[in-house]
Amino acid sequence: MNSYISGVSDVPLLGETIGENLDRAVARFGDREALVDCASGRRWTYAELGASVEEVARGLVALGIGKGERVGIWSPNTPEWVLVQYATAKIGAILVNLNPAYQRQELVYALNQSGVCLLVSAQQHKSSDYRAMIEESRGECPALREVVYPGDPSWDRLLSRAAEVDSSRATDRAARLSCDDPINIQYTSGTTGFPKGATLSHHNILNNGYFVGELMGYSEQDRVCLPVPFYHCFGMVMGNLGATSHGACIVIPAPSFEPAATLRAVEQERVTALYGVPTMFISELGLPDFDDYTLTSLRTGIMAGSPCPTEVMKRVMSEMHMEEVAICYGMTETSPVSTQTRRDDNVERRTGTVGRVLPHLEVKVVDPATGTTVPRGAAGELCTRGYSVMLGYWAAPEETAQVIDAARWMHTGDLAVMREDDYLSIVGRIKDMIIRGGENVYPREIEEFLHRHPKIYDVQVIGVPDDRYGEEIMACVIPVEAEDPPTAEEISAFCRGQLAHYKIPRYVRTQDAFPMTVSGKVRKVALREMAAKELGAEAAGEHPSS
């Protein structure tokens, strides 16, 4: 049996725009709460959310924003982010998500590459002075006509201009939209070369958010807490669209991730679903007063973004009451989710796999060298096909052709194994796989094992250059106690007899934190760069017998 499966479903795909879907939710759930911002205390019912979205949409039309024009948003999580997301969809503008961590040159690149004509931006966040960077960059961005800052008179002017556009004009505009129109550009992290703008349609992201919510059993009774960034698909698709397509409530705990603020929001807002990457859940569980929070309203949530250690998942299910928590796997280019665990899955499937294919999608596992589908149980590159695959990278046809083949399969770059029960396990990235002395080593396996060590709080395993073996293995460790980190000898002894000799880390690097992307993924490329510089000649020195 080969490694191919398609997602069968009795529930049809949605053939509507995001605006039409929101209108249906407003009509059906008008009096129910739709959006809560814990930081400001502001709240919207569905009727109020619909009215606010319409106001922003008409304001954008009054400013001359046409169908297909790009509107950038550069901000942490705020209610205005949500309003702009739905308002741009209503008028057929393309929302360009800008990473809140961008510095000036990255901002300039993204604005120019996508041709943003209007930018909605926070004035500042943490140590970043957005306004100063924008003003310094205006002369380098010829397409940028206008900048609007929520909380500033420019935002008030946008709203006041809505009165210039009557409702019939806005309705006519919406009627001319197609669900296949491009509606969103999301820039990939750009760990190699410049970031690429994954271009997504209404059909791509609305259906993906909807079916993720369907598999989680969402209804108007649910309240979804989103400490993950809206800039990323995790927040705006799996979160916002997953919620509004089911009449659920979006809860914003804070502008950016704060573990205590997140648990406080869960408790005070009686949240039923909590999202996060594994490092977020690790931080929440590690709070000194974790046991003081009442989290019994939780039943589900999503853990995604990077592989979750088994022990962390078990604690989330038991101590955070998230018995139905889902593991989701995907990438920005696939809207993002391709596979997901199910509500009634047993613990082994929740902790040992990334679930099975979503409805209406196809996945297969292929030999990276030949492209042929491998047998069940064999590792290869995971490929996805279906409604979720992006339209392409914005203005980059050659780069698009490198990842989407002639048959419309998206090549993920992830190494996976498809089991006999149709569930998939991710064993690593092709680029993260360590080849030591001819042996393929998958970091995930070693990380899972090392999470059991009593002195290890979190761990990432990387390959470092080595003259004799090509690569050697390094464990980058955040210790439980900073003053008592595990030594290389302790870790080697812990692994001996449990892991094959070539999988035992030769090096151990202790650190306070890992370099992260804004979406919460560990940047292994940065870890490898730091480690290679530090090791230098040491990595080419004497080697233990093996």
Q: For 111-124, how does the pLDDT look when each residue is reduced to its tens digit (9 = 90+)?
A: 999 999 999 999 99
Report yes or no on 250 lying in a domain: no
pLDDT at 21: 98
pTM for the full model? 0.86
Report yes or no on 75 lying in a domain: yes
* Nearest in space to 252 (alpha carbons), one of 422, 84, 37, 81: 37
Domain boundary among 136, 158, 178: 178
Report yes or no on 21 lying in a domain: yes
Coil/strand/helix, residue 176: coil
| Mean pLDDT for back-to-back runs of 10 residues, the chain (546 residues) | 97 98 98 98 98 97 97 98 98 96 91 98 95 97 98 97 91 93 88 80 98 98 97 96 98 98 98 94 96 98 82 92 96 97 91 94 95 96 98 96 97 96 91 84 89 96 89 96 96 93 94 82 89 69 38
pLDDT at 546: 33
Q: For the residues of 194-242, what is the DSSP string, one character each?
A: S--EEEEEHHHHHHHHHHHHHHTT--TT-EEE--S-TTSHIIIIIIIIH
Report yes or no on 134 lying in a domain: yes
pLDDT at 541: 42
Report yes or no on 89 lying in a domain: yes
8-state DSSP, 80: H
Burial of 326 (0-12, 13-18, 19+ CB in 10 A): buried
pLDDT at 518: 62
The residue segments making up the domain with residue 476 are 434-536
CA 525 – CA 361 distance, rounded (Å): 30
Neighbours of 445 (CB within 10 A): 15
Q: Per-residue pLDDT tens for 447-499?
A: 989 999 999 999 999 999 988 888 999 999 999 999 999 999 999 999 999 99
Helix boundaries (H) for 320-357: 347-352
Q: Give the CATH number of the domain where residue 106 resides.
A: 3.40.50.980
pLDDT at 193: 62
pLDDT at 537: 38
Q: With contact defined as beta carbons under 8 Å apart, do 150 and 280 qualify?
A: no
**Residue 330: half-sphere exposure toward Cβ, Cα within 13 Å:** 33
Write out the E strands in 467-530: 470-479, 507-510
Measured at the CA of 142, the angle between CA 138 and CA 147, to 5 degrees, comes to 50
Domain boundary among 150, 178, 206: 178
Neighbours of 310 (CB within 10 A): 17
Q: For the residues of 36-67, what is the DSSP string, one character each?
A: EETTTTEEEEHHHHHHHHHHHHHHHHHTTPPT
Report yes or no on 403 lying in a domain: no
8-state DSSP, 461: E
Domain count, the chain: 2
Coil/strand/helix, residue 446: helix
Domain boundary among 178, 197, 230: 178
* Nearest in space to 226 (alpha carbons), one of 252, 246, 205: 252
Report yes or no on 28 lying in a domain: yes
Angle formed by the axes of helices 278-285 and 259-268, to 10°? 80
pLDDT at 500: 84
Q: With contact defined as beta carbons under 8 Å apart, do 262 and 253 qualify?
A: yes
Kindly tell me the sign of the dihedral angle through the C-alpha atoms of 363, 368, 371, 377.
negative
Q: Give the CATH number of the domain where residue 516 resides.
A: 3.30.300.30
How far is Cα of residue 249 from the mean position of the Cα atoms in its chain? 20
